[in-house]
Amino acid sequence: MKAQGRLAGRCWYTLALAVLAVGALSVAAVSRDDEHVSENDEQSDSVRLKTPTGKAESVPEGRRYLDASLSVDERVEDLLARMTLEEKLGQMTQIEVDSVNPGDVAHYGLGSVLSGGGGVPPDNNPEAWADMIDAFQEEALSIRLGIPLIYGVDAVHGHNNVVGATIFPHNIGLGAAGDAELVRDIGEATAIEMLATGASWNFAPVLAVPQDIRWGRTYEAYSDDTDIVTKLSVAFLEGLQSIERLPLVVGTPKHFVADGAVEWGTSEHPEGWRIDQGDTSIGEEELREVHLAPYKAAIDAGARTVMGSFSSWQGVKLHGRRDVLTGMLRDDLGFDGLLVSDWGAIDQIDPDYRTAVVTAVNAGIDMNMVPYDAQRWVGTLKAAVQDGDVPLERIDEAVRRILRVKFEMGLFEQPFAVRELLPEVGSKNHRALARRAAAASVVPLVGGDRLPLDRSVGRVLVAGEADDVGTAAGGWTITWQGRRGDITPGATILQGVEEAVSAETHVEVSRLGHTDESAEIGIVVVGEAPYAEGVGDVEVPALSEEDHGIIARARAHVDTLVVVVVSGRPLLLGTATDLADVVVAAWLPGSEAAGVADALFGVEELTGTLPMAWPDAIDQIGPGRAKPWLPRGHSG
Ligand code: BGC
Ligand code: BGC
């Protein structure tokens, strides 16, 4: 039924284009074959499309909003004037794919559907994604006003829920690379892979400026320095939004604001998280200087959507703060796009759901990432509007912003997946870019003068997690938390070593570092197993006992010991720095982790520097920390 709908939609669209192509001035009749059309004064309306060359036909009686030759504001006002309260509330609703039942898109007139981490079609491949999203889109187009939905994903290091997509290094590694041009290219490649599957809304970049590496989201940020975060997040956003084909992809600076300032021990998350979603007590000046500044730059660079932060500021949840969401974001920074809530974050404002909803909407949230129960949200907000607790003008304002973004993106003109881009998903070019990025993010912590390694070495021992795509990719890969193992195609660090060394070199692999032979070079990959968000909050970020064991075993058999730390943040390395000749930080290099070996063996130049300080004792972590072992900017 959905498939038929898509074909019908397609046929209509193709036909309309064909009519225009032969220069016919007659009006292509639109019949929306649909039982949902209730108030059918609109049903037999006629439409003319903007020609591909931009020459507009005269037209639509009735549905002026479909006339692409009108200004965005005219289209928004025309459409808004036709909408019922229910239709408006539907536009303000975003539901996660796993909670969307058949018929819900049409029933609620959903403004948006998202894939959370791991919200994937049963058969997880790029084409199945396109089918899934197009089917939602057909349903959205099939109802009375035919407003396209906007499909959201967290493509935070590539289109990372999709098996077969290119997985780029997480942002902390790109902070180490420090190359805006590279990050821009990654934004562009990510947009192309998204468009191929029908997703045009990216919940990225993260603008957090994290001040405490115990936070499980540290790796989602580029750096703990405002200027680096600003430079690279703007580069990503510009790359992402630069693809000149419809629909335009939009990015989402998040999480507004000061999520990176949360303090250890303040989280009230029911699963025992310690810092994520917690509180920051910093003063307004610091909030503005350190944490708000990147938003100003991102908005000036064309950000059209922003996401709120789960966290609170001075004890009050940010999703309920009008002084911040409207005062700072709108009045001070001049943002006129769409403000979306984070995942169920409105619910945390107040134990009474209705109070929470009224507070958030009046504070300035335009769309709610509900994400589970549409009925509860829509019903509650509707009652609040009818009782006058939320003014209708506030609803109109929110819907205006949502529609404006959809019109600007060209979603009304081209709502579907751009399938001719499917071959670009995980393409050779994109993987080469990711591999270059992985190489560029490598930072020598100690012994950098012993690099590059000799490619014609006789024997190399490789130990630890060197052959694991999942570990190198980290959280937010295929699933929310990520996981070890062959979760998606990629080229591992081991593969990179094998490619870098000479044909005569013998590469021995021993995960735990056991061997009977000695080797000139040992490469031991240790660090963190994948995690995301508060699940990754840890009191003492450090190498594990197991890691130390592997390092010690390998040490006994090799001349030059290279320890590669794969992690989402700096870790306390303990005796590893004494045992190893070389220690490098590789962060979370992604599916093309082979690039790390390229950097070690001189296939690529070593240019990375620390995007944040690296401690070697616990008192160097968190607010008021002691002078760090290695400062930001270090490379050695
Ligand atoms: C995260 C956001 C993310 C959203 C959707 C939330 O838990 O905080 O960063 O965009 O989920 O997956
Ligand atoms: C989803 C994530 C989301 C998280 C929030 C998970 O189930 O997959 O996208 O960020 O819940 O708690």
- DSSP per residue, 35-65: TT--SGGGTT-EE-PBPTTSPBPP--SS-GG
Residue 154 CA: nearest ligand 2 atom is 9
Q: Cα 187 from chain centroid?
A: 10
Which regions in the chain score pLDDT beneath 50? Answer: 1-60
User: What are the Cα distances from residue 443, in Å, to 461, 466, 607, 633?
Assistant: 21, 17, 7, 10
Number of C-beta neighbours around residue 414 at 10 A: 17
Question: Looking at the domain 72-423, which fold is it?
Answer: TIM Barrel (3.20.20)
Predicted local confidence at residue 297, as pLDDT: 98
Q: What is the pLDDT of residues 220-279, one digit of tens each?
A: 999 999 999 999 999 999 999 999 999 999 999 999 999 999 999 999 999 999 999 999
**CA distance linking residue 306 with residue 110, whole number of Å:** 19
Residue spans of alpha helices (H) in 506-575: 545-555
Considering all CA atoms of the chain, what is the largest pairwise distance in Å, rounded to the nearest integer? 83
5: tokens are 């709908």
438: tokens are 């992985």
Which listed residue (342, 424, 465, 547) is catalytic?
Answer: 342
C-alpha 206 – ligand 2 centre gap (Å): 16
- Single-letter residue type at 602: G
Instruction: Look at ligand 1, atom 4, and give the residue with the nearest C-alpha.
Output: 343
Classified as helix, coil or strand, 491 is: coil
Report the candidate in 442, 473, 463, 492 with the shortest Cα–Cα distance to residue 594: 492
Which ligand lies nearest the alpha carbon of 273? Answer: 2
Domain boundaries, the chain: 72-423, 442-620
Number of C-beta neighbours around residue 52 at 10 A: 10
CA atoms within 13 A on the CB side of 576: 30
**CA distance linking residue 470 with residue 448, whole number of Å:** 27
Report the candidate in 567, 533, 541, 572 with the shortest Cα–Cα distance to residue 464: 567
**CA distance linking residue 545 with residue 555, whole number of Å:** 15
pTM above 0.85, yes or no: yes
**CA distance linking residue 69 with residue 51, whole number of Å:** 9
The DSSP annotation for 23-39 comes to T--SPEE-----TT--S
Residue 115 CA: nearest ligand 1 atom is 12
Q: Point out which residues pair with 280 in neighbouring strands.
A: 313
C-alpha 98 – ligand 2 centre gap (Å): 11
- Single-letter residue type at 187: G
Residues at CB less than 6 angstroms from ligand 1? 116-117, 154, 203, 254, 342-343, 533
**CA distance linking residue 411 with residue 65, whole number of Å:** 12
Classified as helix, coil or strand, 584 is: strand
Vertex 17 angle, CA 11 and 21, to 5°: 140
Is any ligand 2 atom within 6 A of the Cβ of residue 168? Answer: no
Q: Which residues contact 120 (CB under 8 A, 6 or more apart)?
A: 129, 161, 162, 163, 478
Q: What is the pLDDT of residues 566-582, one digit of tens each?
A: 999 999 999 999 999 99
Predicted local confidence at residue 62, as pLDDT: 76
533 belongs to the catalytic site? yes
Predicted local confidence at residue 636, as pLDDT: 85
Helices then strands, each counted (H, E), the chain = 20, 18
Tell me 256's DSSP state: B
Q: Which residues contact 441 (CB under 8 A, 6 or more apart)?
A: 169, 173, 174, 176, 177, 586, 587, 589, 608
Report the candidate in 382, 354, 378, 353 with the shortest Cα–Cα distance to residue 368: 378
The DSSP annotation for 298-356 comes to HHHTT--EEEB-SSEETTEEGGG-HIIIIIIIIIIT---SEEE--TTGGGGS-SSHHHH
Residue 420, judged by CB atoms within 10 A of its CB (0-12, 13-18, 19+), counts as: exposed
Instruction: Write down the CATH superfamily of domain 442-620.
Output: Glycoside hydrolase family 3 C-terminal domain (3.40.50.1700)
Q: Which residues contact 421 (CB under 8 A, 6 or more apart)?
A: 192, 193, 195, 196
589: tokens are 């290099």
The DSSP annotation for 379-442 comes to HHHHHHHHTTSS-HHHHHHHHHHHHHHHHHHTTTT--S--GGGGGGTT-HHHHHHHHHHHHHT-
Pocket test for ligand 1, best of 154, 161, 255, 309 (most atoms within 8 A of CB): 154
Is any ligand 2 atom within 6 A of the Cβ of residue 482? Answer: no
Predicted local confidence at residue 61, as pLDDT: 56
Is any ligand 2 atom within 6 A of the Cβ of residue 480? Answer: yes
Q: What is the pLDDT of residues 351-371, one digit of tens each?
A: 999 999 999 999 999 999 999
